[in-house]
């Protein structure tokens, strides 16, 4: 979950605490006609109501964009210009992220993504890239979620270099169909109290919001990006890119009004530099700018070649990253420290990372962080031209 995630959770927690205190202060008044168990049921119903309201309010203020701490292992979600930028012909990537499960338990944020892309030779040195991505994100008792299917295209133009070195300028664009939805079936409402201290889901909820609004809808989404990379040799390269998502600023409101999805600007840069034979450093940074929200991830990894080869066909890497973001009240705050590791064997790569929350939300539960798992596989086949790309 991106931007909306932390703001929503803290906001809904504050409202829930308020409703809890309100009920506790009125326990004496309610005790004459309700049992303590009934009070608990009503409190839970109020929490569900306020949970949905918080989603609706936050959904109108910001976007529900996904992000991955291993952004370098999810290229098509980062920038459409990365489509087809690979050393082999075909690439397949899967990602999974679980966020804040110690605090939210079954209602934690779960994000998954699967992508496929390939490159097609154009002329002697250029490439055309085509790819597709399917990702989904879901959280909360309302199962508030987004699912997107996206087609990405790119064109890579060689700007200079020789056979085993190259400078390329890449432009890309993508188009997507996105589904946004709420499933209120698991929510509990005060009107569904059965009068005997229990909850009866067969009782109508009588909530106007659920009857008068579209809780499941589709919208189109457009994006574009640009990338420049310079490969000096097989072990040294750098790249820098810009992407703009949500160019059409689609309406994302669950109500009968218009709430436009903020466009999002992404800046990313990184590289690989050999420190000594079999050891390379891979620094990187990614920054997101969306509406009033800002987020920056920066850090580095060390990659160690395994075996007798310096080509790093087999390698292991470990790294540390730091994420900062904007506060609801303005200014920046530290969000998480990220530890990552990855193993590469030929065309196969597998990565794992853990986000250790360092913001105030860490107080919600012990080890209240996030973990990610990612895999990539490339299919090379015969290649007449030895043009090298950065290995992200």
Q: Which residue has the higher pLDDT, 382 or 378?
A: 378
Domain 4-379 has CATH 2.40.160.40: yes
Q: Is 49 helix (H, G, I), strand (E, B) or coil?
A: helix
Cα torsion at 169, 82, 288, 221 (round to 10°)?
110
Q: Which residues are CB-contacts of 324 (< 8 A; sequence separation ≥ 6)?
A: 295, 296, 332, 333, 334, 335
Name the residue among 116, 243, 250 with its Cα closest to residue 178. Answer: 250
Worst-scoring range by mean pLDDT, 7-21, 178-192, 237-251, 293-307?
A: 7-21
What number of other Cβ atoms are within 10 A of residue 102's Cβ?
15
List the structure tokens of 380.
């090379």
Q: Which residue has the higher pLDDT, 63 or 376?
A: 376
DSSP annotation of 263: P
Distance between CA atoms of residues 185 and 187, nearest Å = 6
Q: Quick one: pLDDT band at residue 196, thresholds 50, 70, 90? A: confident
Q: Token match 């530290």: residue?
A: 334
Distance between CA atoms of residues 101 and 105, nearest Å = 5
Name the residue among 187, 221, 252, 9 with its Cα closest to residue 109. Answer: 9
Question: Which of 55-64, 194-203, 266-275 is most confident?
Answer: 266-275
Worst-scoring range by mean pLDDT, 96-100, 220-224, 296-300?
A: 96-100
List the structure tokens of 13.
């927690």
Q: Quick one: pLDDT band at residue 4, thresholds 50, 70, 90? A: very low
CB 349 within 8 Å of CB 127:
no
Note the pLDDT of residue 354.
Answer: 94
Q: Quick one: pLDDT band at residue 253, thresholds 50, 70, 90? A: confident
Note the pLDDT of residue 366.
Answer: 56
What does the buried/exposed string (b/e) look like for 208-242 if buried means 16 or more CB atoms within 10 Å of the residue's CB? Answer: ebeeeeebeeebebbbbbbbbbbbbebbebbbebb
pLDDT (average), residues 215-228: 94
Instruction: Give the predicted TM-score (pTM) of the model.
Output: 0.78
Q: Quick one: pLDDT band at residue 383, thresholds 50, 70, 90? A: low
List the structure tokens of 278.
């079999």
Q: Quick one: pLDDT band at residue 363, thresholds 50, 70, 90? A: low
Distance between CA atoms of residues 57 and 11, nearest Å = 10
Q: Which residue has the higher pLDDT, 6 or 226?
A: 226
Report the relative pairing of strands 314-326 and 348-357 from DSSP bridges: unpaired
What region, left, alpha or beta, does residue 295 occupy, with left being phi > 0 and alpha being psi -120 to 50 degrees? beta
Distance between CA atoms of residues 224 and 78, nearest Å = 11
Q: Quick one: pLDDT band at residue 46, thresholds 50, 70, 90? A: very low
Q: Quick one: pLDDT band at residue 334, thresholds 50, 70, 90? A: confident
pLDDT (average), residues 12-18: 35
Distance between CA atoms of residues 281 and 303, nearest Å = 6
Report the percent of the chain where pLDDT is more than 70.
74
DSSP character string of 216-246: EEEEEEEEEEEEEEEEEETTEEEEEEEEEE-
Note the pLDDT of residue 362.
Answer: 56
Distance between CA atoms of residues 118 and 345, nearest Å = 20
Name the residue among 249, 322, 339 with its Cα closest to residue 286. Answer: 322
pLDDT one-digit tens code per residue, 119-177 = 999 988 899 999 999 999 887 767 788 999 999 999 999 998 876 788 999 999 999 99
Burial class (CB in 10 A: 0-12, 13-18, 19+), 392: buried
Q: Which residue has the higher pLDDT, 173 or 198?
A: 173
């Amino acid at each position: 979950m991106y931007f909306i995630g932390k703001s929503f959770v803290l906001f809904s927690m504050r409202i829930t605490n308020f409703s809890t205190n309100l009920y506790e202060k009125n326990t004496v008044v309610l005790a004459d006609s309700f049992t303590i168990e009934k009070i608990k049921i009503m409190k839970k119903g109020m929490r569900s109501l306020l949970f949905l309201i918080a989603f609706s309010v936050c959904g109108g203020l910001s976007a529900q964009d996904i992000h991955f701490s291993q952004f370098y292992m999810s290229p098509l979600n980062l920038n459409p210009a990365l489509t087809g930028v690979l050393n082999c012909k075909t690439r397949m990537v899967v990602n999974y992220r679980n966020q804040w499960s110690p605090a939210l338990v079954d209602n934690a944020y779960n994000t998954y993504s699967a992508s496929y892309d390939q490159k097609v030779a154009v002329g002697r040195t250029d490439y055309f890239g085509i790819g597709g991505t399917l990702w989904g994100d879901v959280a909360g008792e309302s199962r508030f979620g987004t699912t997107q299917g996206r087609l990405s295209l790119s064109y890579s133009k060689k700007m200079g270099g020789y056979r085993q070195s190259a400078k390329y300028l890449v432009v890309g664009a993508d188009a997507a169909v996105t589904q946004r939805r709420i499933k209120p079936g698991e929510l509990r409402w005060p009107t569904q109290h059965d009068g005997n201290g229990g909850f009866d889901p067969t009782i109508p909820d009588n909530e106007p919001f659920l009857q008068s609004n579209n809780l499941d809808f589709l919208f189109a989404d457009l994006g574009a990006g640009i990338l420049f990379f310079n490969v000096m040799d097989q072990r040294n390269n750098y790249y820098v890119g810009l992407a703009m998502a949500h160019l059409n600023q689609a309406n994302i409101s669950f109500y009968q009004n218009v709430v436009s999805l903020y466009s999002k600007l992404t800046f990313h840069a990184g590289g690989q530099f050999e420190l000594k034979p079999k050891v390379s450093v891979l620094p990187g940074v990614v920054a997101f700018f969306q509406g009033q929200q800002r987020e920056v991830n920066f850090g580095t990894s060390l990659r160690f070649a395994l075996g007798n080869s310096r080509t790093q066909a087999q390698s292991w890497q470990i790294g540390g990253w730091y994420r900062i973001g904007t506060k609801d009240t303005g200014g920046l705050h530290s969000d998480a420290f990220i530890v990552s590791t990855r193993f590469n064997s030929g065309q196969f790569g597998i990565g794992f990372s853990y986000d250790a929350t360092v913001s105030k939300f860490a107080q919600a539960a012990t080890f209240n962080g996030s973990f990610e798992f990612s895999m990539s596989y490339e299919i090379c086949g015969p290649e007449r031209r030895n043009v090298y790309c950065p290995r992200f």
